Amino acid sequence: MISFFIKLWENVKIALRALMQSKMRTMLTTLGIVIGVLTVVSVASIIEGLNRGFASQIANLGSNALYVDRYPWATMEDFSKFRNRPRLTLKEANFIRERMQLAEAVSPSTSTRQDIRYRNRTLNGISVNGVSDHYDVVTGLVIEEGRFFSFAEIERNKNNVVLGWEIKDKLFDNRNPIGEKIKIGATTYTVIGVTEKRGSFLGESLDAEVYVPLGTVFKNFGWHRSISIAVKVSDPARVEEAKDELRFLMRLARKLTPTEEDNFSINQQEVLTDMYNRLTRGLYTAAIGIGTLSLLVGGIGIMNIMLVSVTERRKEIGIRMALGAKRKVITFQFLVESVIICGVGGIIAIVMSFIVSLIISKITPFPSAVPAWSVFMGLGFSAVVGLFFGIYPASKAARLNPIECLRYE
């Protein structure tokens, strides 16, 4: 084992000397590998970033939350089928709240888009969510400043508002917004709280929203709107059971006969996860394919250069053989050379991938992160490329006839 490492070190020294002799060539060959590995690692970073962003976004929905909506979140069916479904009503929400055994909290909500004004600043088309008192529990909303709505505030349809982090930032800069008055549409509201920053997903800010009591939305923006009913299941192990109960209660509330289909949808985050996976699988495969392709091109570059190098150094090979280098020693020598090119290329690529990842997350809506596994994968890939594309030139060198090599000038 020790003698192997000594041999390896001898060969590394020989390889480095040979590589230093043709610096430009070595640099260009390494560049090919750098680009290849960089592509693979960057693609992996983008994928990882997307997945993480999606996971955190999905986590906001709550893992044991069920949502009764007019439409399914994701469907392969013709959407027109759902258009005639009746709107969900507060009455139905209350019906579920009163009867559902497996629910920890039931929170109806609705949403509208309105302009928001504070003094001379206006934000257009901001999503205004009408919520009930358990909304923060069900959806995992965290309050950073001030507080969420009390039961009494919800009951009395008070003109109070909780701001998303970004809205607060845009309207108030660094000032304390609590107790300030803002206008949503034509009505004046008092700010009672600000939510914690949640970041953005696919370029969509999760903090550019405001929350008001549900009844306030109906009162100020009209009654003719559908609601969504969020149900937090008390026992995460019994989500499926809860889904059945919820469906039963909804059918009961709507007095559906056994032959009638559901005219509502029960959604959960799983549905979104499934859709996300379906949509991105093809994308990932293509991206990884492109990365692999560029690594392949880099590898062919290595093979090409190593073949040239073997031909050029026939004399050296002949001398080494005459002095007692066995064939496998020659193979090893050239293999070490190509692995060094790839290894150095891989390391450079990984350092660069951190920079690229930073740039990607700065200038594109895609979040990007270099996962540890992609670092190892990048290094592994480059070593494999070095071995794979180095083995042919190296064994070609080893198969040369020493007599002919010595004659070569």
Partner 1 sequence: MDSLIELKDIVKIYKVGSEEVHALRGVNLSIQPNEYVSIMGPSGSGKSTLMNIIGCLDTPTSGRYELENVPVHEMDDDQLAEIRNRKIGFVFQTFNLLPRVNALHNVELPLIYSGIPAAKRKILAEAAIEKVGLSDRKNHKPNELSGGQRQRVAIARALVNNPSIILADEPTGNLDSATGEEIMQIFKDLHEAGNTVVIITHEKDIAERAKRIVHIRDGNIAEDIRN
**Contact footprint for partner 1 (CB under 8 A):** 3, 6-7, 10, 17, 21, 315-316, 318-329, 402-403, 406, 409
- Closer Cβ to partner 1, 232 or 313, answer by number: 313
| Smallest distance from partner 1 to CB 39, Å | 35
Kindly give, in sequence order, each residue whose CB lies less than 8 Å from that of residue 121, ignoring residues fewer than 6 positions away: 170, 171
- Closer Cβ to partner 1, 62 or 318, answer by number: 318
Kindly give, in sequence order, each residue whose CB lies less than 8 Å from that of residue 296, ignoring residues fewer than 6 positions away: 36
- Cβ–Cβ < 8 Å for 294, 36: yes
- Strand residues in 33-167 grouped as ranges (E): 65-69, 103-118, 121-131, 143-146, 160-163
- Closer Cβ to partner 1, 181 or 407, answer by number: 407
Residue with tokens 């928001």: 116
Nearest to 113 by CA among 216, 185, 29: 185
2 CB burial (10 A radius; 0-12, 13-18, 19+): exposed
- Closer Cβ to partner 1, 221 or 332, answer by number: 332
| Smallest distance from partner 1 to CB 408, Å | 11
| Smallest distance from partner 1 to CB 36, Å | 30
- Closer Cβ to partner 1, 283 or 403, answer by number: 403
| Smallest distance from partner 1 to CB 391, Å | 18
| Smallest distance from partner 1 to CB 10, Å | 6
Instruction: Report in angstroms the alpha-carbon separations of 279 from 49, 56, 273, 407.
Output: 16, 18, 10, 62
| Smallest distance from partner 1 to CB 21, Å | 6
| Smallest distance from partner 1 to CB 386, Å | 23
- Closer Cβ to partner 1, 12 or 377, answer by number: 12
- Cβ–Cβ < 8 Å for 123, 102: no
- Closer Cβ to partner 1, 266 or 305, answer by number: 305
- Closer Cβ to partner 1, 251 or 327, answer by number: 327
199: left (phi over 0), alpha (psi -120 to 50) or beta: left
Q: List beta partners, residue 182.
A: 189
**d(Cα 328, Cα 341) in Å, to the nearest integer?**
20
Kindly give, in sequence order, each residue whose CB lies less than 8 Å from that of residue 119, ignoring residues fewer than 6 positions away: none
Task: Say how many C-beta atoms besides its own lie within 10 A of residue 355's C-beta.
Answer: 11
Tokens matching residue 268: 């959960």
| Smallest distance from partner 1 to CB 392, Å | 19
